[in-house]
Amino acid sequence: MANSSTSERQLVGSADDIWIWSQDNGWDLTRAPTHDAKPEMRPLHLSCEISNVTIDPAKTALIIIDMQNYTMCKELRPDTAVPALFAAQDTLLKYGIPAARKAEIQIIWLNWGLTQKDLGTMPPSALRVFGWKANNDVADCISARVAAPGREETFINCGERPRTVGIGAELGQLEFQDGTKVDAGRVLMRESWNAAIHGPLLSSFQESQSGPKPDILIHKNRNSGLWSETSDLAEYLAIDGIRTLLFTGANTDQCVMATLQDAHARGFDTILLKDGCATDSPGYAQQSAEFNCCRNWGFLSSCRALSQAAFGD
C-alpha cells in the first residue's frame, strides 16, 4: 500500500510497518511512533546506491556472518584463503564495527555452530555442500562452459567425490608457521576452534563484552540464520525489536545472501554493506549479490558509509 500525503512524501506499508519516501531524502526506515515524530536515538542518514536511507540505531543490528577460523584461517583452508576475505575483515575492524559501536547499533556475530542433535537432522542438501566436491580442478564451471564455442547447451559433468573431512568430522591438530599447534576440532561444531570467530575479530568481540552494549554471538545450523521462525536469530530479533539489518561477512553469495533473502521475505529492512563482505566464488557472484541488493532485496551501502554517518567524517 502506498498513500501520498503530499506530492513529495509517501507512506509505504501498513499498520506499524511503514516506510516514508521522499524524492529529496530517499527512504525513512525509522518507524517513528507517529509519522512526524523523531526516533528515540539520533537517526543515521546512510548513503546507498540508488536511494539513501534513514535508520534508527535502536532498531538496527550489524550482522557479521561466518567470519570464523574455518572460513578465514590460511593454514586450515589454503584453497579458500582469498585476499577479499581479509580485506573485508580489515574494513569491518576499521570502519564497520567502530561505527556500529559509536551509533549504539547492536552487533551480532552469526556463525555456524552445530550440536550433535543438529547433525542428526541435517538434510542431505546441506551435507553435500560440506562433504563433496567437484571431481576436477575447474573451479568456475559456468565460465568454462560459456567460453567453449558451440558448447553453450552442454554441461561440465565431471561428477563429485567425498571430501576427506565433511561436516562434523575431526580436523585434527593444526600447526602454524611459528610452530604453535592447536586442536582444530570437529568441522563447524559449536565450541570448536575452527568454528570460533577469527583472529583479530575475536579480540574485538571479547573487548565488547565489558562495554556498554556487548556484542552477541548467535549460532546457526543452515546457510541462512533465518530459515526457521524458531531459529535463535529470529527469536532474538523479535524480542529485541530489531527491524533493520546491516549485512556483512562470508561468503557474500552463500550464507550472507541466504540470510539476507530470508530476512527480506520476513519483512526486515535489509542493507548489504558491500566492503564488509566477500566471497571465494568468482567475481560475478559478488556483483550479482550487490546488483540485486540495491534493486530487489533492499539496499546497498558500505562500512565506510556507515562510518561517515556515525562519526560525521
Confidence of residue 177 (pLDDT cuts 50, 70, 90): confident
Average pLDDT over residues 8-32: 92
Edge-to-edge strand list for the sheet holding 216-220: 216-220, 106-112, 60-65, 244-250, 269-278, 299-301
Q: What does pLDDT average to over the chain?
A: 90
Q: What residues does 216 pair with on adjacent strands?
A: 108
Task: Report the range of poorest mean pLDDT among 27-31, 158-162, 189-193, 260-264.
Answer: 158-162
Q: Identify the three-state secondary structure at position 214.
A: coil
- pTM given for the model: 0.92
Confidence of residue 7 (pLDDT cuts 50, 70, 90): low
- Residue 85 contacts residue 64 (beta carbons within 8 Å): no
Tell whether domain 56-115+187-311 is in CATH 3.30.365.10: no
At residue 151, the pLDDT reads 57
At residue 39, the pLDDT reads 56
Higher pLDDT, 136 or 158: 158
Q: What is the DSSP letter of 93?
A: I
Q: What is the DSSP letter of 114?
A: B
Task: Report the range of poorest mean pLDDT among 83-97, 98-112, 161-175.
Answer: 161-175
Give the residue extent of every domain in the chain: 56-115+187-311, 125-162
At residue 4, the pLDDT reads 46
Q: Indicate whether 5 pLDDT > 80.
A: no
Task: Report the range of poorest mean pLDDT among 115-119, 152-156, 170-174, 298-302.
Answer: 152-156
Transcribe 115-178 into DSSP letters: -HHHHHH--HHHHHHHHEEESSS-S-HHHHHHTSTT-TT------EEE-SS-TT-B--EEE-TT
Q: What is the DSSP letter of 307?
A: H
